[in-house]
Amino acid sequence: MPKYVYSFTEGNKDLKDLLGGKGANLGEMTGLGLPVPPGFTITTDACRYYMNHGENPPELQEQVGAAIVHLEGVFGRTLGDASHPLLVSVRSGAKFSMPGMMETVLNIGLNDNSVLGLAEFAGNERFAWDSYRRLIQMFGKTVLDIDGEAFAEALDAKKAAAGAATDVELTAEDLKELVETFKAIVLKETGEAFPQDPRMQMNRAIVAVFNSWNTDRARIYRKRERISDDLGTAVNVQTMVFGNLGADSGTGVAFTRDPATGRPGVYGDYLPNAQGEDVVAGIRNTLSLADFEKIDARSYSELRDVMHRLENHYADLCDIEFTVEKGKLWMLQTRVGKRTAGAAFRIAIQLVDEGLISMDEALDRVTGAQLSNLMFPQFDASAVKTLLTKGMAASPGAAVGAAVFDSATAVEWAAAGRSVILVRRETNPDDLGGMIASAGVLTSRGGKTSHAAVVARGMGTTCVVGADALDVDLVAQSFTVGGRKVLSGDIIAIDGTTGEVFLGDVPVVPSAVVQYLEEGLDKALAAIAGDTDASELVLAVHRILTHADKVRRLRVRANADNAEDAARARRLGAQGIGLCRTEHQFLGDRRRVIERLILAREPDAKAEALNALLPLQRQDFVELFTAMDGLHTTVRLIDPPLHEFLPDRTELAVRVARSEERGSAVAEDLELLAAVERMHEANPMLGLRGVRLGLVVEGLFALQVRAISEAAAQLKKEGKDPRPEIMVPLVGSHVELDLVRDDAETIIAQVASEWDVDLSIPIGCMVELPRAALTAYKIALGAEFFSFGTNDLTQTTWGFSRDDVEGAFFNEYLEDRVFKVSPFESIDVDGVGALVKIGVEGGRRTRPDIGLGVCGEHGGDPDSIHFFNAVGLDYVSCSPFRVPIARLEAGRAAVGAAGSDSR
């Protein structure tokens, strides 16, 4: 019989696939002998069965029943018993942490009878009724799908009537009345009374957790984090311990290091006389753990010991949830904590220096996405700014945008191209869409472990929380602070590093990490001398990136079309140019020369146009090869159809028609229109372009090959070391390449003789058509290298025109999970990737020493880099800005790190 239920005593941290992260870690802590309330985990297998069949596995009810009976025997209490009740929580727990995205129900087992028994057993009537109202509220919202605002409004009304500022001030009588109000809400909204059967409560809560795996917010979160929809969630049923029993009880969240900065120490939040959801929800501003020490020194000391033990055991930052019940500490959860990008690098190096992990493991702990985050600009400290207030720095960065006060507006305005800052009293899981759309998140309530803080850190979004000077009016769509009123649409700026909130725009400056990457370690440290945090971060990035360079097999080149971009790429660590797009050199004033070439009918006129371009092209290459002296520079011969260099067909036709009406038509315009009409193609991206253009337009490729060769010859004469490579685009047949190669080799030999230098210029081609990949074994006979053009290879494999389809139906395809991610963003491993693999194997079979690289946008995508490393490419090429990211990910690929990381 399938086993769907595991006691915490049977679990461990290596069973995350089966028990989810929370269940696996509860089992691990139980095995370590830490004070964990007993319970059991329902496996992800059970959830997947439910998703596939629409009902629980037939064995589940019996196994859950047996597990509950076991708990009742351990505690000598019965679930929902009128005199001595056992209460449990039902919580989600997927393999990868999804904070706030799925459901939790506390205090299951309470009903109209057991609440009285709980009050007598605890000797605290207020606590019992508070626990009961929480159950009805959570059960109503989570299981019965009642709008949570109905309960929130009733609670606010009761507090107002009682003259209570917070729910803690409500009396037992107030809470009894609130329970009746909540039960009335349930009856009104569902047509049924709140269930009094504890087993029914638990069973329905389990199903609600299963269903929460597929809520909109959970799907949005998984889509963003690239978590598979097929994993499902486990369910954890755990004996309740109570932080709302009075002043000697409470609940909190702790981090073994600061998840925002990485600083060692004790960080977290504590709420006395509260249950765990109060901390995460941010509905009350929390106390610090230093305050907790003053309140309960013994429990604080025990917590510190547990934190130290867990961090050493997991060798990583740990995120811990705990409850104190009448002075007794209980551990409710631990997990490897999410952290900001800067914290990830600093913590990784700290753990190396403490002897807990190796440099390979440190490299595994950071990602290219995190490094990219550190390269974004920061606010200019010297700028004149208008400070509104200061809250808690929850997730670093510099964000400027229009203030918006609801998630829907944030999504709408961001889709229209506006930068927005989402302002809320506190966020909840339903705000996820708005948080993703926003440049930053600002809340007036909550602490560093609130929903807003945890989710924003995980997404790398700038966030400031607990700015309690803000009076946020969601109805009026405004906030007031210090006598100033900020309306929806007003520009504000938030600093997630300092917690500062500013009115208006604030200028930004390059980050210290970019300064290091471009100018070197010594100059960067000199520029930030005195800023300890920035210096530690730069040193951490330097050490990890240096190690990545040491261990990686893949070389990293850059896509650059001019000397300026090439020089920047070299400063950022590029080991050559993998793609120089020569068509970009024909823009601007040179467009007129191209027009002359197209219009030329006679050989002399064509020669004149080509001769005019030759010195211009040669100088382009002299500058480019100088910038990359000593490094390989792959020059792609002109690729796009020539009509792209002509005026727009419609605009030109209108201009000619108007001129003809006035009787003043210009002969040149008439010629241009005739040329445009002659060259018009229904699908130009699959028409006369690439190698076809070079074979049809006589002298065009020859011009470029001569310019490349003469530039190399000139620099060799000057004692430099140019290393050009000539790349032929859109090759589909080995015959095409052979024809171009024969002409190119003749020209190279001529130039070498004319300049009296030795010119060895490799000739290869792009592999961007399925046929090229499938016949790579033939093409390799004439190609010294392949560069996979994965942008066009994706288009031609899928039959997509990228410019058309991304706006037409990609959103629907992503929503329907046809794609998990756009195939233009990350390589389609099963389709396009299979062709790349075929091309690699075919090329190497024919020519074992053939050079293999990729120059599409995928060359800078972390997941794609891991794939390219696995199939045996020699290098990736990407935009200059992404070179450091590619270097890091190539190193991670070498040490076996996963392409994506949930951390």
**Catalytic positions, please?**
451, 855
Tell me which residue has tokens 């985990």: 41
**Amino acid sitting at position 514:** V
- The CA-atom distances, in angstroms, between 741 and each of 633, 784, 848 are 18, 11, 20
The strands making up 88-94's β-sheet, listed across from edge to edge, are 5-7, 39-42, 233-239, 88-94, 104-108
Q: Name the token pair of 643.
A: 């009509």
In sequence order, the β-bridge partners of residue 85 are 78
Q: Are 506 and 383 within 8 A, CB to CB? A: yes
How far is the C-alpha of 350 from the C-alpha of 278, rounded, in Å? 32
> 465 burial class (0-12, 13-18, 19+ CB within 10 angstroms)?
buried
The alpha helices in 498-602, defined as continuous H runs, are 512-519, 521-527, 532-551, 563-571, 591-599
Give the DSSP letter of residue 266.
E
Tokens coding 887? 């270097």
Give the DSSP letter of residue 383. S
Q: How many Cα neighbours within 13 Å face the side chain of 336?
A: 18
390 beta partners? 500
Give, in degrees to the nearest 5, the angle at Cα 87 between 85 and 91: 170
- CB of 237 closer than 8 Å to CB of 64: yes
Euclidean distance between CA atoms 338 and 460, whole angstroms? 10
The residues, any chain, with a CB within 8 Å of residue 229's CB and separated by 6 or more, are 214, 219, 222, 817
SS3 of residue 148 by DSSP? helix
CA distance 620 to 792: 26
Residue 143's alpha-carbon distances to 69, 168, 727, 735, in angstroms, are 24, 25, 61, 67
Residues 391 and 467: beta-carbon distance below 8 Å? yes
Three-state SS for 14-43 is CCHHHHHHHHHHHHHHHHCCCCCCCEEEEC
Q: How far apart are CA 367 and CA 373, in angstroms?
A: 10
* Helical spans, DSSP H, in 628-733: 649-662, 667-679, 691-696, 700-717
Query: What does the radius of gyration of the chain's CA atoms come to, in whole angstroms?
Result: 33
- φ, ψ of residue 124 to 5 degrees: the values are -150, 95
SS3 110: coil
The encoded tokens of residue 109 equal 């087992």
Helix (H, G, I), strand (E, B) or coil at 761: coil
Distances in Å between the Cα of 754 and the Cα atoms of 717, 741, 746, 751, 760 are: 12, 20, 12, 5, 15
Helix or strand run (H / E) with residue 79: strand 78-79
Pair 30, 36: CB distance under 8 Å:
yes
597 touches 609 (CB < 8 A): yes
Which of 135, 30, 130 lies closest to 80, judged by CA? 135
Concatenated DSSP letters of 151-205: HHHHHHHHHHHHT-SSGGG--HHHHHHHHHHHHHHHHHHHSSPPP--HHHHHHHH
Distance, in Å, from the CA atom of 34 to the CA atom of 41, rounded to the nearest integer, reads 18
